[in-house]
Structure 1
Amino acid sequence: MLSTGAGSTKNVLNSLDSLRARSKANPNSIIDRQLYKTFILNKDLLRTAYDKLKSKPGMMTPGINPTTLDGMSEERLDAIISKLSDNSFQFSPGKRIMIPKSNGKLRPLTLACFDEIPHDKLISLLSNKISDQRFIELIRKSLNAGYLFKYTRKTDIIGTPQGSIISPILANIYLHELDLFIMKLKDEFDFKGKYSFYDSKYRSIQHKLHRSRKLGLDSLTLRKLAIELRNHNRDYKNEFTRKLQYIRYADD
């Protein structure tokens, strides 16, 4: 069983709230706090994370490792923190699930978005924002955990782990660069204004005048058509709106 200290747990949650508020108020600032020491090695935070995860049914389903969250204890938390402290902690590989395709073959049950994210680029984006390299390396370890397929462990240099709670977060961080590009493109593309056009009657008079000149009709007829054309209101205004709509999401 896990024992919780209400005061210490509240302190670490307050620290998280403070970090969130600071980042929201200064979105372009570097996160220069020691995230690894402050949060990752904090036993109270691990307890809180466990309490949030244990209520999810999927967390009680064994993966390649038969251990599930319902077997959590103070001793197990201490062992995890000990490995995190000396940087020997390793993530277990995921379990790749194959599902049938319409042609009878099998394909992995993964989301294409997560499969195509290059690790080096993602780590570079994180490093531009987060100064704590121990925290960055822990994320790199999770990306390199790989998956188990037919009793063989495979690791990729692209993709985020399927089923991982951080996969949607990492995908959103990666796609944020695309969001910024699209927003800039949207500013250039969006337009609202008015434009002029000639109505059908104006074009008809214009055609008659042009044809009459080619046929060499008398000047009186040409003059009447020219006056009619000049007096006709051709300047019809119409509002025109052009907007770029962009929708994207990352989920697990």
Structure 2
Amino acid sequence: MMIPRVILDNLTKKSSKEEKYQHQRLYRNLYNKEFFFDAYSNIYAKQGNMTKGTDGKTIDGMSIQRIESLIEELKDESYQPNPSNRIYIDKKGSTNKRPLGIPSVDDKLVQEVLRNILEAIYEPVFTDTSHGFRANKSCHSALKQIQTNFTGVKWFVEGDIKGFFDNIDHHILINLLRKRIKDEKFINLIWKFLKAGYLEEWKFHNTFSGTPQGGIISPILSNIYLNELDMYMKRYAESFNKGKKRKRTHEYRALEWQLTKLKIFVETWKTMNEPEKTEHQKKIKELYKIRNNMTATDPFDQDFKRVLYTRYADDFLIGVIGSKADAEKIKNDIKNFLYKELNLELSEQKNTNYPCNKEKSKIFKL
């Protein structure tokens, strides 16, 4: 059997070369023991993986025989994921708690193999505006992108998707996967995980939507889902953006002309006496000092517009160079897109737009 790294590299190359390439025969990779050995190595040392799942097993009891048995179940498609064990953990920056689903050990291994395959396929097609749950990306890279790209922004639109992880529409997600994956066995396995349900205080609950926070494939599935929003914002910017650069202000252009006239007189420098030279230099220095403290471009230039976008998980920030009406329209357009295309809603508590000022610019600080 081929080495997993070679297989994954080939998947990445195919995704990179052809925008609409559909990957086939992916499920057979789950018959390759090497994928499971790699998966075991990846998850063994991670905190929490010694915790027993709902099947009572731990990763510490893994063996080649156990992996072979798991592969046989995958081959005849009798494999059925266990419901995850739901617990609640503290939510950062809040007194509330968030649910966390702990999969069984066998399910963790299968999910880790799926995650590696999905990342190889989708990483090349994700945009650079997506920063959550990705290698070499983080909240710090998101903030750095905002610092670098949002120069001159007049309005911010801040968005948070209401109960995102619990409200991912399974049917929409599966249809998105089918755009790039032409392997129903592989798709069906993901379906099984989505429908596996969870145990809370030993009571079983069905899952009709969402991906469990704590599931190994949940982060990549969430990025596949919200890549639709990322691509929408990319297209939106292409149609919204206007002008190559902002116009200079009238005051700035007038001062530039004064400097130009003074520089012309440098040609007659030799004919000047010392007091004239001193006065001339003084005027130029004063004008440069004034210019350095002036706003060179017109912030209200109607012929220059930009929309900028950065997302981390289910939170996103949009910078608008334009009017308040532009910012309001962008917010409403996004709200409509999420509802119609992804069956999601924006949280009204966090979905705000506000002008750029020193107080709000604290968000830029790393």
Q: Please, what TM-score do these two structures have when normalized by structure 1?
A: 0.71
Q: Quick check: 1:172 aligned with 2:172?
A: no
Tell me the distance in 1 between the aligned counterparts of 2:83 and 2:72: 20
- Where do 1:70-85 residues align within 5 Å? 70-85=60-75
Q: CA RMSD in A?
A: 2.7
Secondary structure of residue in 2 paired with 1:45: helix
Q: Give the superposition deviation at 1:141.
A: 0.5
Tell me the distance in 1 between the aligned counterparts of 2:182 and 2:59: 31
1:36 alignment partner, one of 23, 27, 51: 27
Q: Give the superposition deviation at 1:11.
A: 2.4
Q: Quick check: 1:187 aligned with 2:178?
A: no
The amino acid that maps onto 2:230 is D
Tell me the distance in 2 between the aligned counterparts of 1:189 and 1:106: 39
Name segments (4+ residues, structure 1) moved above 4 Å.
105-108, 193-199
Secondary structure of residue in 2 paired with 1:96: strand
1:26 alignment partner, one of 12, 18, 36: 18
| Contact kept in structure 2, 1:94 and 1:147, CA below 8 Å | yes
170-179 or 92-101, which moves further after superposition?
A: 92-101
- Where do 1:39-50 residues align within 5 Å? 39-50=29-40
- Where do 1:205-224 residues align within 5 Å? none
- Change in Cα spacing, 1:186 to 1:67, as seen in structure 2 (3 Å) is same
Q: Give the superposition deviation at 1:133.
A: 0.4
Partner of 1:15: 7
**Larger Cα-atom Rg:** 1
5+ unaligned residues in a row in structure 1: which ranges?
Answer: 1-7, 200-236
Partner of 2:305: 242
5+ unaligned residues in a row in structure 2: which ranges?
Answer: 101-161, 252-295, 315-366
Tell me the distance in 2 between the aligned counterparts of 1:15 and 1:238: 52
Q: Give the superposition deviation at 1:65.
A: 2.8
| Contact kept in structure 1, 2:20 and 2:179, CA below 8 Å | no
Tell me the distance in 2 between the aligned counterparts of 1:181 and 1:148: 37
Q: Please, what TM-score do these two structures have when normalized by structure 2?
A: 0.50
85-94 or 237-246, which moves further after superposition?
A: 237-246
| Contact kept in structure 2, 1:148 and 1:154, CA below 8 Å | yes
Q: Quick check: 1:133 aligned with 2:184?
A: yes
Tell me the distance in 2 between the aligned counterparts of 1:85 and 1:11: 19
Partner of 1:205: none
- Change in Cα spacing, 1:198 to 1:12, as seen in structure 2 (3 Å) is closer
